[in-house]
Structure 1
Amino acid sequence: MMPQRTDVLVVGAGPTGLAAAVTLARRGVEVTVVDRAARPPVTSRAAVVHAYTLEVLDRIGAAAPLVDRGIASPRFTVRDRDRMLLSVGFGDLPSRHPYALLVSQSVTEAVLTDRLTALGGQVLRPYEMTGLDHDAAGAVVRFADGATVRARWVIGADGMRSTVRESAGIRFGGPDDPGESFVLADVRTRSALPRDEVSLFLARSGPMVWAPLPDGVVRLVASVAEAPREPDAGYLQALLDERGPARRPDRLTDVLWTSRFRIHHRIAERYRLGPVLLAGDAAHVHSPAGGQGMNLGIQDAVVLGDTLADVLAGRPDTLLDEYSAARRPLAEEVVGFAGRLTRLATVPPAGRPLRDLLLRALSRTPSARRRLALRLSGLTNRPG
């Protein structure tokens, strides 16, 4: 049941909102989590949890159960059909998690929900937020069923089309175009590709991510000119034939689910406006290339949760301005990084030999491979 008052209202029960709620609950903060969906999704976009994100999840007691349910991947590869252009190993990362964890976002959400429940919290469903008003004492949030709640602080973790962000009047910078079109699918395949590493295939028509998951599932994410409403087996097989291995091509054996989505490269002009705070996709969205989006959102959430707990314990609320000042540049860097990976894939045919030569040169340079491994793992975001 929705309370009339709460210290912190978290809108959105994806990985970002749940991580923020767990962080606050661990610090003894009264936190209420709401989500518009009647039940947790069983499908999701993100499939990789990187090393630094696992370190952050360790801090809130969520890493170990997640690792138990995923595949530890020792490397990330970039390919052009059968040619290996670049292999980035994670084995020597300066982390207690020297790998990338391959696991569905729905599993990440389930682990975080279990952790929140163990701390005495819960997700209230379905509550669709319709607006808010804020003043010096906090915010009053309205819902579609007529319910209202007064919160001292509101965290918008409600995704790219954030009602929290829009209701607060925070601009979401970026180009006014339709955005990049993507196909997303969980499938089973007969494949010669390793079942413990993510491969990014570069093709003239766009990049394709091939990511193995537990139970023999493969997550496919491909940038396409215009995704069909319901990508079917024939469409997905054509993508594999066009972009995947050629000598020993993948053969689709089962399609578990499919979807399509569009991504705009956008960053909120600010992460705080009075008692309203943003994290995750509500604050920044970008291409899925490199698997950075959910990871950055979880990192946002734990930093924000700890900072907000400090403020509620009596420290000055200017700490929250410092959160915004520190996290926004990281989002700008991730947006740029994801954009560069996408441009690598779509180099015109005349430029591909030079691109491939440069990538192979990077692959033969240990210092360059290490820098890229640190960048992909998120360890470059670790506070000094």
Structure 2
Amino acid sequence: MLPTSTDVLVVGAGPTGLATALTLARRGVEVTVLDRLAGPPTTSRAAVVHAYTLEVLDRIDAATPLIAQAVRTPRFTVRDRDRVLLSVPFHELPSRFPYALLVSQAVTEAVLTQKLAELGVQARRPCQLTGLTHAGAGMLAQVDGEAVRARFVVGADGLHSTVRQLAGIGFTGGTDEESFVLADVRVRSVLPRDEAALFLARSGPLIWAPLPDGVVRLVAAVKTAPAEPDAAYLQALLDERGPARRPDRLTEVLWGSRFRVHHRIADTFRTGPVLLAGDAGHVHSPAGGQGMNLGICDAVALGTALADVFDGGPETLLDDYTARQRPMAEDVMGFAAGLTRLAGVSPARRPARDVLLRLLGAVPPARRRIALRLSGLSHRERTPG
């Protein structure tokens, strides 16, 4: 049975929704989490957690158990086949977490779910939100024919957010759609197993990222991604974009899928008692592994602002949330789009691109700025606490 009322109704039990709920529950706010799926997905999907996100997760006691189940990568490289164009040293980051963490999204969700369970909160599944209307100072949500009154509603329900649509919030951006293939595989490779790599190819970027247990995550922008990429398709991608002198040899496909993204952002992250976080508010290229990270940062910032309101703070704190996080999303979207464009430069411009990247990598201040940007630490000053 659903509760008839709750302080905060969080729609969506992915990393963003779970982190929002955990932030609230730790502050004693009554929170109800809904998800339309019968169970959490078991595939890995997003696979990198950056240093700043680990600092944010540490505030809600979720960093340590996640680190215990992940691969730490002290560097990130940008490559053109066998040439390293740029090496980004995460081990020099000014953080308690001087690395990127490579781990399945399913594990990230499991850690957050367990932390919530310790506080007596479980996601209600499967539950479908069908209506939202204003009711006094809050909202009345229709969920599978039942009415739930909430002081605030958080839309953490992804790209096709029902909350965003029911609240009438615009979702603007380009009409161009990018197609991506992603897969978890096992490969024989000479590439380091403590390093994530972005291969720049004329046909599009390829992300190569080691996960625990010898698994490698591949993500590639392609013209038309197959629904279930097979070994032959993925091997062809590696042959076309990966190492050339000693090419990777794929030995097993554990899982594969596809996804499409637009570059879009919500017109606002707040309208009255309705707030957005994560992909419900912004979607962009996966280059740089920024999507889930930004969603988790949204979540903890929003959960903190809501908890402060329940502790007697002014509701303008919620306006501060959207004023802070929306420009951050715009910045991340531009950065991810720029990484994607680097791969697609014409053959005539490629030598100049390669020289520029090598020069940037040879200048310590420039290299540091890139590391801060990729790790999310360049946004540290935007989020209080």
**Number of the residue aligned with 2:26:** 26
User: What residue identity is the alignment partner of 2:242?
Assistant: G
CA distance, structure 2, for counterparts of residue 50 and residue 224 of structure 1: 25
CA distance, structure 2, for counterparts of residue 351 and residue 376 of structure 1: 24
Q: Greater shift after overlay, 122-131 or 75-84?
A: 122-131
Q: What is the TM-score when the length of structure 2 is the normalising length?
A: 0.98
CA distance, structure 1, for counterparts of residue 137 and residue 362 of structure 2: 58
CA distance, structure 1, for counterparts of residue 367 and residue 40 of structure 2: 38
The equivalences for 1:70-109 within 5 A come to 70-109=70-109
User: What residue identity is the alignment partner of 1:374?
Assistant: L
User: What residue identity is the alignment partner of 1:169?
Assistant: G
Q: How far apart are residue 314 of structure 1 and its match?
A: 1.6
Q: How far apart are residue 44 of structure 1 and its match?
A: 3.4
Q: How far apart are residue 297 of structure 1 and its match?
A: 0.6
Q: Flag structure 2 segments of 5+ consecutive residues without an equivalent.
A: none
Residue 310, structure 1, aligned to residue 312, structure 2: no
**Number of the residue aligned with 1:8:** 8
**Number of the residue aligned with 2:154:** 155
Q: Greater shift after overlay, 200-209 or 131-140?
A: 131-140
CA distance, structure 1, for counterparts of residue 8 and residue 161 of structure 2: 17
1:202-254 CA-partner distances (Å, limit 9, x unpaired): 00000010010000111100000111122111111100000000111111111
CA distance, structure 2, for counterparts of residue 268 and residue 305 of structure 1: 19
Q: What is the TM-score when the length of structure 1 is the normalising length?
A: 0.98
Q: How far apart are residue 192 of structure 1 and its match?
A: 0.6
**Number of the residue aligned with 1:173:** 172
Q: How far apart are residue 141 of structure 1 and its match?
A: 1.2
**Number of the residue aligned with 1:241:** 239
Q: How far apart are residue 60 of structure 1 and its match?
A: 0.3
User: What residue identity is the alignment partner of 2:371?
Assistant: A
Q: How far apart are residue 131 of structure 1 and its match?
A: 2.2
Q: How far apart are residue 133 of structure 1 and its match?
A: 1.1
Aligned pairs, number: 382
CA distance, structure 2, for counterparts of residue 197 and residue 263 of structure 1: 26
Residue 61, structure 1, aligned to residue 61, structure 2: yes
Q: Flag structure 1 segments of 5+ consecutive residues without an equivalent.
A: none
**Number of the residue aligned with 1:38:** 38
Q: How far apart are residue 92 of structure 1 and its match?
A: 1.5
Residue 350, structure 1, aligned to residue 348, structure 2: yes
Structure 1 moving runs of 4+ over 3 Å: none
CA distance, structure 1, for counterparts of residue 131 and residue 252 of structure 2: 42
SS in 2 for 1:150: strand
SS in 2 for 1:29: coil
Match of 1:274 among 265, 272, 276: 272
SS in 1 for 2:371: helix
CA distance, structure 1, for counterparts of residue 136 and residue 343 of structure 2: 49
SS in 2 for 1:354: helix
CA distance, structure 1, for counterparts of residue 174 and residue 100 of structure 2: 32
Q: How far apart are residue 29 of structure 1 and its match?
A: 0.3
User: What residue identity is the alignment partner of 2:237?
Assistant: L
Query: What is the percent sequence identity of the aligned residues?
Result: 72
**Number of the residue aligned with 2:377:** 379
CA distance, structure 1, for counterparts of residue 349 and residue 131 of structure 2: 49
The equivalences for 1:304-343 within 5 A come to 304-343=302-341
SS in 2 for 1:123: coil
